[in-house]
Structure 1
Amino acid sequence: MKPQERLLVHHINRALTRIMGEDERVLMIGEDLLDPYGGAFKVTKGLSTQFPQRVHTTPISEAAIVGVATGAALRGMRPVCEIMFGDFLGLAFDQILNHATKYPLMYAQEVGCPITIRTPMGGRRGYGPTHSQSLEKFFVGIPGLEVTALHRFQPVEAFYRRAILQRDQPSLIIENKIMYGQEPLDTVARYGDFQVRRHGQDVVDAELSLTDFAHEEVTLITYGGMTDHCLEAARRLLLDEEIASNVLVLGRLSPVQLEATAAACARTGRVLIAEEGTGAWGIGSEWAAQLTDALWGKLKAPIQRVACTAPVLPNSRALEEQVLPSTDTIIQAVQTLMSRT
């Protein structure tokens, strides 16, 4: 493998290529997918050349993309939609909420709708208010929709294969933009000084610890683009303040599966949840509520959350960094958490 082909974006591309090569029912639908462009982030580059009859570029209409894919799924195909920026998912909300997810539920799961929607989310690239948001909180909890978030410790091909070929219900896959340019860590047992262990099979929650999962005092829960910030916060907390923590990187956001997460949190009794989207009615809210129910009596302090502090993300990279949660804000929140014990 060439060095320039080791990035996560190339691993996703290879996974999609293999899946399309194995099953003629798999279609790609989205804007500007055809070569030589290959999508805004080049995830689908080369697919239209290899599978010219099964990669369909569309007008600028996210509702049409998801609507056409839903119809194709009901006819036995396995379409994969690319929404160029996650911010545009709002334009397809009706198709997801009232159509794709409803059909299996209305017919007692006897009618499948195996549609996969994948889209990049997140900021820190200076793309401005309508191309930098993390909007997954508006989709978690929709009945019949599974929402997952790719991360670097996740086996990439198994992750996409499950969503595209092995599920008969709609899936929404969140891909953080920053991770496209990073190398996968799907096979490592250690990442720097962190020990890594994985929970689950095709959708993995990754748990990392600097102390071999012993003597930890706080659990940091996160996903997607906040992973590196939580890991750096855990490192600094141990070196500077002798506070040991474990970091849990979620693969599945919804429906919530508590077993591995609750076990990690029960060991410490203190929990901090970090998300890049806005905090009100967010991912962290639901996870905090369910963990509180599951761990009542074992928590040593109320669960803390950190999230984006601005309702609109600025274009300026410097201002963007001020409002998005950072390593420093995570550390400050942990200090507050420890003081409330």
Structure 2
Amino acid sequence: MTVTPATPATPATPATPATPAERVAEHLNRALHDLMDAHPDLHLLGEDITDPYGGAFKITKGLSSRFGDRVRSTPLSESAIVGAGAGLALAGGQAIVEIMFADFAALAFDQLLNFAAKSVSMYGRPVPVPLVVRCPSGGHRGYGPTHSQSPQKHFIGVPGLAVLELSPFHDARALLDHALATRRPSVLFEDKVLYTRRMFHHGVVDELFRFEPPAGPAGVARVHLDGVEEYDCTIIAPGGLAHRAVEAMRTLLMEHEVLCELLVPARLYPFDLDGLPPRGRHVCVAEDGTAGGTWGAEVAARLYPGLWGRLTRPITLVSAADSIIPAAPHLEREVLVDAPAIVRAVLGAAA
């Protein structure tokens, strides 16, 4: 892992207190069922997303049986899939496109950069392009170099294109509704390991930590300790890193008496903390991709002007090692960000 200081600049039922929270995959599948039911002009496109397969991670299971031709399995051409989805949106419909692995979004980059994102403003008047491109991302599953990446940084800063990330704190139906309602294209990253995790609900993370739900569909969730207002460190991390960040916070508290809070945004770009300023004397931004031109660096640059007068040390960035991602689990762990890497970053900054 790389640790560097930043330079200033329907199938499932919602949980009740008496039932376990649904898993993120179930939650997302239910959200898609609800969206398709609410929006008759919404279409789903992707490789192998129809029944009985229901997608590589079963997120689209049951949708084609219920909604017929509005859910289409496509040929293996990410550029064609995204282009068709953008064309549907541009022609007055709405589209959600699944890229089987986020790595293959590179094959659709031209359609996103030069067609979908530009189409909202290059015709002399605002043109709606309600398109969401879903991208299962991340490692920790032994899938190897071309099926384990987190390429969020390559989509940061594209005018007209929003970058979102799924979180166990954010309601997927509300987030997808919001993305489509902006009438602009969005890329939604979904950490694959997150699919098997359960949603956090009722404001409880575990016996130590509580959370404040986001103020809006794409807002920021805050994980905190009851009764604590000032923290040694604020960790900012996207949804795929939430569990690793909470694990790090537990270690820092129990073994080192370091108090941390966690901010989890659903909208990575354009980035906005939505009135939730960091309360820590130090800020650590963690992300799964490699260093260099990253979301984390963008966050640091946005935070410095407002926090410069009270930060006790530079903002720390935690990112994956400058390496391809091995398939062997023990080697994969050496490359990807884990809880100990976040712990080391926070303690290193305090040294």
- Which interval holds the TM-score relative to the shorter structure? over 0.9
The 5 Å alignment of 1:173-212 reads 173-185=188-200, 187-192=201-206, 193-212=208-227
Q: Which amino acid aligns with 1:122?
A: G
Distance in 2 of aligned mates of 1:140 and 1:21: 31
Which residue, 310, 316, 319 being the options, matches 2:328? Answer: 316
Q: Identify the residue that residue 240 of structure 1 maps to in structure 2.
A: 255
Distance in 2 of aligned mates of 1:5 and 1:329: 29
Contact 2:117/2:159, CA 8 A, preserved across alignment: yes
The change in CA–CA distance for 1:37 and 1:323 in structure 2 (over 3 A counts) is same
The 5 Å alignment of 1:217-296 reads 217-261=232-276, 263-264=277-278, 267-296=279-308
TM-score by length of 2: 0.91
Moved over 3 A (4+): 1-5, 258-261
Q: Which amino acid aligns with 1:234?
A: M
Distance in 1 of aligned mates of 2:223 and 2:35: 30
Q: Which amino acid aligns with 2:86?
A: T
SS at 1:191 equivalent: coil
My pick for the range that moved more, 120-129 or 238-247, is 238-247
Q: Does 1:31 align with 2:17?
A: no
Distance in 2 of aligned mates of 1:286 and 1:23: 35
User: Identity of counterpart residues, as a percentage?
Assistant: 39
SS at 1:292 equivalent: helix
Q: Cα offset for 1:109? A: 5.2
SS at 1:217 equivalent: strand
In the comparison of the two structures, how many residue pairs are matched? 334
Contact 1:199/1:260, CA 8 A, preserved across alignment: no
Q: Identify the residue that residue 4 of structure 2 maps to in structure 1.
A: none
TM-score by length of 1: 0.94
Task: Name stretches of at least 5 consecutive residues in structure 1 with no aligned partner.
Answer: none
Distance in 2 of aligned mates of 1:71 and 1:222: 33
Contact 1:210/1:235, CA 8 A, preserved across alignment: no
Contact 1:80/1:116, CA 8 A, preserved across alignment: yes
Q: Identify the residue that residue 169 of structure 1 maps to in structure 2.
A: 184
Distance in 2 of aligned mates of 1:4 and 1:64: 40
Q: Which amino acid aligns with 1:241?
A: H
Contact 1:213/1:246, CA 8 A, preserved across alignment: no
- Richer in helix (by share): 1
Which residue, 123, 127, 130 being the options, matches 1:111? Answer: 127
Contact 1:258/1:291, CA 8 A, preserved across alignment: no
Q: Which amino acid aligns with 1:62?
A: E
Q: Which amino acid aligns with 2:350?
A: M
Higher relative contact order (CA 8 A, sep 6+): 2
Q: Identify the residue that residue 139 of structure 1 maps to in structure 2.
A: 155
Distance in 1 of aligned mates of 2:79 and 2:226: 48
Distance in 2 of aligned mates of 1:171 and 1:212: 37
